[in-house]
Structure 1
């Protein structure tokens, strides 16, 4: 029983770490591709800015979906 609890805890921590990593990449894309051009020079905003912003939002949403993979001891 203790081994199962340990395995579930390890799995959950790895899932949370991966989700946080994907979230950080997504928010970094949003910050660099969207917020930076908006604050520095509005002339730099283009379709590519929107594309990278959508990619960042997509990665942010994926990070929420990754958390669905968290386990409990009941559903290992």
Structure 2
């Protein structure tokens, strides 16, 4: 079983990396880009067969280590 965790900054939190990406794309001629937000993708290979229990464990991992709940949100995709 595999879990994909998408971590991204909450709305209103400054994103200097996203601003740099948007600026670089504009400088390269991609004028349609108005803004960019940068996040991260974490993929975990998991043992076990119980998808609900695995998702609960991954959620616990996100709360304790994989995200900063003050400034970040996350979503979990079990595949």
TM above 0.5, yes or no, is no
Give the TM-score normalised by the residue count of structure 2.
0.26
Larger relative strand fraction: 2
| Bigger Rg, structure 1 or 2 | 1
Normalised TM-score (structure 1)? 0.27
